[in-house]
Amino acid sequence: MERERFPVPGPRHRLAPSILSADFARLGEEVERVVDAGCDLVHVDVMDNHYVPNLTIGPMVCEAIRPRAAVPIDVHLMVKPVDALVPLFAKAGADLISFHPEASDHVDRTLSLIREHGCRAGLALNPATPLHHLDHVMDRLDLILVMSVNPGFGGQSFIPAALDKIAAIRRRIDHHAEVTGRTIWLEVDGGIKPNNIRAVADAGADTFVAGSAIFGAADTDGGYRGVVSRMRAALANAGLAGRAA
Ligand code: DX5
Ligand code: ZN
């Protein structure tokens, strides 16, 4: 029986806390707390110590947090090869699955595989990955994940050069929407903080991954609610004009 999928959040700016920076000894509670604090997605960073120099979690953890996450689960596959893990994460409760084009021998086939398993499909572009990877797959994409750090770890600093890349991708997404009526999310991942999120939104992002900024705020003023409201305040009236959901 097809699993009920969470409706993806609408055209406002979306916050996606990365559980890589969560307290794994209390992961279920952590997920509930960030959703309760007003986050729109849960970002799950999957690393295989092959495509990136770190090892994190598999489908079992996604399955474990599924009942605790009353929002879509946004799985970021930093693995090579990719395809065998797609059905496992789809079955474990993923709503969106992104992967790196360098990690798949057949990008179009992997994107179709993700959609065939009922998930929204995304390509994750590293800081040095050129935009030509988008040239022939825009109609297959629901999401473009722009890495503003090199993948593998939380807590890194935002790479400012990502802003120009975000603006260039925003132009491509808006042109695609004009021609096809299809909306593609522009998600930015790495080093996002309350003091830079507005610049990232102004460059053209609509969805923001934040791991250490959110989970690192557990014991600061206002906790998760505090940092989420600081991010929302920074995003208030930032450009979303004319963008659909
Ligand atoms: C890095 C991951 C990011 C990271 C974000 O490879 O893809 O999602 O966890 O963590 P922060 O927000 O701390 O940079
Ligand atoms: Zn990520």
Give the residue whose CA is nearest to atom 6 of ligand 1.
Answer: 151
Is the C-beta atom of 210 inside 6 A of ligand 1?
Answer: yes
Calculate mean pLDDT across residues 8-29.
91
**pLDDT tens digits for 82-123?**
999 999 999 999 999 999 999 999 999 999 999 999 999 999
Written as one letter, the residue type at 96 is L
For ligand 1, what atom is nearest to the CA of residue 52?
6
Q: What confidence score (pLDDT) does residue 221 get? A: 80
Give the residue whose CA is nearest to atom 3 of ligand 1.
Answer: 190
User: CA 13, 35, 92: angle at the middle one, nearest 5?
Assistant: 100
C-alpha to C-alpha distance for 204 and 227, rounded to whole angstroms: 22
Q: What confidence score (pLDDT) does residue 242 get? A: 43
C-alpha to C-alpha distance for 181 and 183, rounded to whole angstroms: 7
Residues 228 and 194 sit within 8 Å (Cβ to Cβ): no
Residue whose tokens read 């693995």: 79
Q: Phi, psi (5° rounding) for residue 29?
A: -65, -40
158: CA distance to ligand 2 center in Å?
A: 13
Does residue 179 carry a pLDDT above 90?
yes
| Beta-carbon contacts of residue 71 (< 8 Å; ≥ 6 apart) | 6, 9, 35, 39, 40, 41, 42
Of 4-18, 121-135, 171-185, the one with minimum mean pLDDT is 4-18
Calculate mean pLDDT across residues 20-36.
98
Q: Find the helix or strand (DSSP H, E) in which 73 lies.
A: strand 73-78
Q: What confidence score (pLDDT) does residue 220 get? A: 85
180: CA distance to ligand 1 center in Å?
A: 32
**pLDDT tens digits for 46-66?**
999 999 999 999 999 999 999
Give the residue whose CA is nearest to atom 4 of ligand 1.
Answer: 154
Is the C-beta atom of 191 inside 6 A of ligand 1?
Answer: yes
- Specify the DSSP class assigned to residue 2: P
Residue whose tokens read 């040239």: 135
Is the C-beta atom of 154 inside 6 A of ligand 1?
Answer: yes
**pLDDT tens digits for 198-225?**
999 999 999 999 999 999 999 888 999 9
181: CA distance to ligand 1 center in Å?
A: 31
- Cα 154 versus chain centre, distance: 13
Q: What confidence score (pLDDT) does residue 238 get? A: 84
Q: Is the pTM of this model over 0.75?
A: yes
Of 14-18, 70-74, 161-165, 215-219, the one with minimum mean pLDDT is 215-219
Is the C-beta atom of 212 inside 6 A of ligand 1?
Answer: yes
**pLDDT tens digits for 181-204?**
999 999 999 999 999 999 999 999
Is the C-beta atom of 151 inside 6 A of ligand 1?
Answer: yes
Q: Ligand 1: which of 189, 207, 227 to mutate, most ligand atoms within 8 Å of CB?
A: 189
What is the set of domains in the chain, with CATH numbers?
A: 14-235 (3.20.20.70)
Does residue 171 carry a pLDDT above 90?
yes
For ligand 1, what atom is nearest to the CA of residue 151?
6
C-alpha to C-alpha distance for 38 and 4, rounded to whole angstroms: 21
Task: Determine what percent of the chain is predicted with pLDDT higher than 70.
Answer: 93
For ligand 1, what atom is nearest to the CA of residue 212?
13
| pLDDT interval class at 240 (50, 70, 90) | low
Catalytically active residues, by annotation: 45, 189
Assigned token pair, 15: 């916050």
